[in-house]
Amino acid sequence: MAGGLRVGIAGGHAASRENANPIAALREYESLRRKRAEKFVTRSRALATMALVRGPVMVSARNTFMRVMGGTAYKRHSADMAYDVSTAA
């Protein structure tokens, strides 16, 4: 493309204009993606921590939490993964 990088669809914003400065274009793209990406990183870290608990009390607490809240968390995560740009704010 002549004239610079095209910033794609990210974080619910379709920025189709061209930006002559590649650094600025990448920074804009990063800012559009950051909030959503950080949510996935945080959620992944929490799940990994829960998966690695030790001891009967902690394992029991984790299993109870997952039994009670697992369905709700899965539905929310599935909705986030099925992200639709056309409905994003």
| pLDDT for residue 3 | 46
Is the torsion defined by CA of 16, 20, 25, 27 positive or negative?
negative
Model pTM? 0.54
CA angle 76, 71, 77 (to 5 degrees): 25
Q: What is the pLDDT of residues 59-82, one digit of tens each?
A: 999 999 888 887 887 788 777 777
| pLDDT for residue 28 | 85
Closest among 40, 52, 32, 46 to 78, alpha carbons compared: 40
| pLDDT for residue 4 | 47
